[in-house]
Structure 1
Amino acid sequence: MLADAVRGQFLSDHPGLDVPVPPWPDSFDFVDDLGADSLDRLALATAVSVHLQINRSGLDDALLARRRLGDWRDVAAQALTLYSDSFHVRSSGSQGAPRWHAHRLDVLVAEVEAVLALLPPGRGRIVSLVPAHHIYGFLFTILLPARLGCSVWEARAASPVSVAGRLMPGDVIVAHPHWWRLLAESGVPLPPAVGLTATAPCPPAVAQALRGAGLAELIEIYGASETAGIGWRPAGAGPFQLLPAWQPGEDGQLVAADGRRVDLPDHLAWQENGRFEVLGRKDGQVQVGGVNVDLAEVRRTILAVAGVRDVALRLAASGRLKAFIASDAPPVDLRPALQAAVSATLPPPARPASWTFGPALPLTPAGKPSDWQEGA
């Protein structure tokens, strides 16, 4: 979890850099191996301290005095012997500025127990394809294996096909819909393992293909950084079922077991017995590779490039963003400037993967915004 927290904070401050995916060795040096300066180290230490509440133990300054991952792990372990009743995660900012959200550890453990009851017997390893400092990763790649007493295979550095070739019956694979889509498209056979998916809707065709390839089950978790898990369903099929810790409230809110009322980022349609359907986000954001992407920010970045009159953004069939650029400038000149602008300021999921150029944005015969063929 520590390496993911460090990497996430560093990429937040330096979105254009290529930072290796954990696991990192204990000898990983934040200055020599990451390139962090004194201000970076202050931001990294602050993020880790808030995640694990190390400041409550008075040991947060010890992080700044050290620069290797293993040393930070020792500080965190000492702090957790004093205070370990909560875990804090930072939202993506899809509902305003990014904010920290506290989660009681006993509530998170109860959620893990509820999801564990959905999994078939004979469970093996946890196969992790998600960062552990996000709430979904913390629940199912930290707390779940701790509950099961099983090992964790950190597999993000491997391709979906490579992962598939090393899966074993009973493995519990924790991934996001983009990863599951790539695995389904590969067509490789799968053992009777179990999958968990979250962060965005899993298309029914993807879920069906994975089950047809041999996956025993794929369970979709609906939730948010602010709430942790809220509901579940067999991926791609029917409404969600509320997890035991929640009850529907009024005006689109949820009521937690402790009486808290929580606003949700999505519109929900409620059915009987705590079942619901997700109708769409209230803020119009999209999710790419399990990451919330602010289309307004992407649009502002692109419009700031000289020669761009207007831009349209949509999700492509690949699950990545595509952009249509209205401009009279030659694409051969404009494309490098656009790619440089988004690479300098936006994280990889927010960078369009394809660019299409024309004198005006595409419209339907009725004058409404229209989709377009990539590269046309």
Structure 2
Amino acid sequence: MNRLELDKASILAVIVSLLADELKALRHLSSHQTGSERWSASTLIGEMQETSPLDQDEIAIGADSLELLSLATCVAMFFNIYESGLEDYLLRFKTLGEWADLVATARRRGTENVTFATSGSTGTPKQCLQQWDALVTETSFFAEYFGSSSNLPTQRIIALSPCHHIYGFIFSILLPLQLQLPAVIRAPKALAMIHQRKLRAGDLMIGFPFIWRQLSRQGTSFPAGTKAITSTGPCDPTIIRELQNQGIDCMVEVYGSSETAGIGVRSNPDSPFQLLPRWQRGNNATTLAECETGTEYELDDELKWLGQTHFLPEGRRDECVQVGGINVFPSRITERLQSLPEVAAAAVRLMSALEGERLKAFIVPVEGYVDHEALEAFLHAWCIRNLMAVERPKAFTFGLTLPHNLMGKQSDWPIKAGISAEALLMEMIE
């Protein structure tokens, strides 16, 4: 087994991504407001003491005691530091670099496995432990896929996906280590490089459907020899073909989840996915089994099998939708909106393809509440305070009753105009 190991730079990149994501939730910030693009090994995590002023080049996150505990817990859980008995040192050390060194020490003591949290508005994220050897084996498969077996081996990784989620971790942390590539270019620098047309042949872009749709709409051109990977949700085949017309040589789709890591791969949207070597078909259309152990996993999607090694996803079995590659449950947002005293009834759903890629809401105000403009302003402000960016409806429609079709079932409704997502792009890629 290849004993691929994380270096300090990779550990630091994951810590920065983890903490930025946690601070967004704790402080109700957007991505650019965390300032994480300026963090480095010398960045102080806690609040500055008046007796120890910052040097000009130093930065402090300024976490208070409660935030510090939450940030330390995120790092300890992700890297399973509890197994080493070193977790208490996170609260003693002051900088991101010291935290990275502590993680490296824990890993040298045998704490290798990694725990990923599922995305989405599920209340408490589900913790998914991944065995290190399984992650390395999958990385080796993709290293061959994008490395020596390619007509043009990968030269650089351009990462538009956060590296603390399993997809970003495999392809923007482990894959460049396996291929011995130079430092990964991450958002927002990665996005700026694409817009400034500084990509070159051999670049491999790591993204997800939301970002690919935006780059397709913008007509972004790509140099010959660039490749891309998409995951976290279905990518419209039309978008893939448009991006190929714009210069991308190959768009690879990876199907998987935080619970299973990668399951299948394809490089043609008209073809089925092929199982990765780790997996075999389960006993029914909703299960998958590990080849070595026979352990079965229940999937969120129903699969249509075309033989023993090829399949097509046929949609989720729950009410989840994806916004910017993150799982969101409209019914839970509906419940929260309906709990407001100003709202008699609500419905939340994903916008249509012509309207945008965000959520929209239909609101029935309580009797006597006729100032819809004021109510809309209140709802937008409430959503900013109480919901993650991907959970917030971006268009509100008001009426006396929720929309229903002739059969009496709740139906879709039009909004005044499509919502442009370009201004919100950075919220999706950090």
TM-score after normalising by structure 1: 0.93
* Offset of residue 21 of structure 1: 4.4
- SS of the residue 1:196 aligns to: strand
- Report if aligned partners of 1:128, 1:175 keep a CA contact under 8 Å in 2: yes
1:326 aligns with 2:364: yes
Deviations 1:251-282 (A, max 9, x none): 42111133221111111111113111111111
Alignment of 1:35-114 (within 5 A): 35-92=62-119, 97-114=124-141
Question: Which residue in the other structure is 1:180 paired with?
Answer: 212
Aligned partner letter, 2:247? G
Question: Which residue in the other structure is 1:255 paired with?
Answer: 289
Question: Which residue in the other structure is 1:353 paired with?
Answer: 394
Compared with structure 1, are the counterparts of its residues 308 and 329 closer, same or farther at alpha carbon in structure 2 (3 Å cutoff)?
A: farther
Compared with structure 1, are the counterparts of its residues 152 and 288 closer, same or farther at alpha carbon in structure 2 (3 Å cutoff)?
A: farther
Question: Which residue in the other structure is 1:143 paired with?
Answer: 174
- SS of the residue 2:201 aligns to: coil
- SS of the residue 1:111 aligns to: helix
- Report if aligned partners of 2:23, 2:29 keep a CA contact under 8 Å in 1: no
CA–CA separation in structure 2 for the residues paired with 1:203 and 1:67: 45
Question: Which of 222-231 and 146-155 deviates more?
Answer: 146-155
Alignment of 1:207-218 (within 5 A): 207-218=240-251
* Offset of residue 81 of structure 1: 1.7
Aligned partner letter, 1:177? P
Aligned partner letter, 1:292? N
Question: Which residue in the other structure is 1:195 paired with?
Answer: 228
Percent of paired sites with the same residue: 35
* Offset of residue 54 of structure 1: 2.0
- Report if aligned partners of 1:301, 1:342 keep a CA contact under 8 Å in 2: no
Deviations 1:157-196 (A, max 9, x none): 2584752412111111111110011011111211121101
CA–CA separation in structure 1 for the residues paired with 2:295 and 2:269: 30
Aligned partner letter, 2:116? V
* Offset of residue 372 of structure 1: 2.3
Deviations 1:93-139 (A, max 9, x none): 67884222221111111111222333323211111111111111110
- Report if aligned partners of 2:331, 2:348 keep a CA contact under 8 Å in 1: no
Compared with structure 1, are the counterparts of its residues 85 and 72 closer, same or farther at alpha carbon in structure 2 (3 Å cutoff)?
A: closer
Aligned partner letter, 2:384? S
Question: Which of 215-224 and 81-90 deviates more?
Answer: 81-90
Question: Which residue in the other structure is 2:6 paired with?
Answer: none
RMSD, matched Cα: 2.1
Question: Which residue in the other structure is 2:35 paired with?
Answer: 20
* Offset of residue 13 of structure 1: 3.7
Aligned partner letter, 2:204? V
- SS of the residue 1:34 aligns to: strand
- SS of the residue 1:166 aligns to: coil
Deviations 1:291-342 (A, max 9, x none): 1112122112221233322222222232111112223532211112111221
Question: Which residue in the other structure is 2:23 paired with?
Answer: 10
Question: Which of 53-62 and 288-297 deviates more?
Answer: 53-62
CA–CA separation in structure 1 for the residues paired with 2:321 and 2:268: 19
Deviations 1:188-245 (A, max 9, x none): 2111211011101000111010001010111111111111111111253332111110
Alignment of 1:133-172 (within 5 A): 133-158=164-189, 160=191, 162-164=193-195, 165-172=197-204
CA–CA separation in structure 2 for the residues paired with 1:126 and 1:158: 12
- Report if aligned partners of 2:240, 2:251 keep a CA contact under 8 Å in 1: yes
1:31 aligns with 2:46: yes
- SS of the residue 1:298 aligns to: helix
Alignment of 1:186-335 (within 5 A): 186-191=218-223, 192-234=225-267, 236-251=269-284, 252-256=286-290, 257-316=292-351, 317=353, 318-327=356-365, 329-335=370-376
Compared with structure 1, are the counterparts of its residues 20 and 94 closer, same or farther at alpha carbon in structure 2 (3 Å cutoff)?
A: same
CA–CA separation in structure 2 for the residues paired with 1:341 and 1:74: 40
- Report if aligned partners of 1:93, 1:99 keep a CA contact under 8 Å in 2: no
Compared with structure 1, are the counterparts of its residues 206 and 293 closer, same or farther at alpha carbon in structure 2 (3 Å cutoff)?
A: same
Compared with structure 1, are the counterparts of its residues 246 and 22 closer, same or farther at alpha carbon in structure 2 (3 Å cutoff)?
A: farther
- Report if aligned partners of 2:233, 2:325 keep a CA contact under 8 Å in 1: yes
Aligned partner letter, 2:21? G
* Offset of residue 90 of structure 1: 1.5
Question: Which of 87-96 and 48-57 deviates more?
Answer: 87-96
Unpaired stretches in structure 1, ≥5 consecutive residues: none
CA–CA separation in structure 2 for the residues paired with 1:267 and 1:96: 24
CA–CA separation in structure 1 for the residues paired with 2:193 and 2:350: 27
Give the aligned length. 376
CA–CA separation in structure 2 for the residues paired with 1:253 and 1:102: 18
Compared with structure 1, are the counterparts of its residues 365 and 296 closer, same or farther at alpha carbon in structure 2 (3 Å cutoff)?
A: closer
Unpaired stretches in structure 2, ≥5 consecutive residues: 1-13, 48-59, 418-430
Question: Which of 201-210 and 274-283 deviates more?
Answer: 274-283
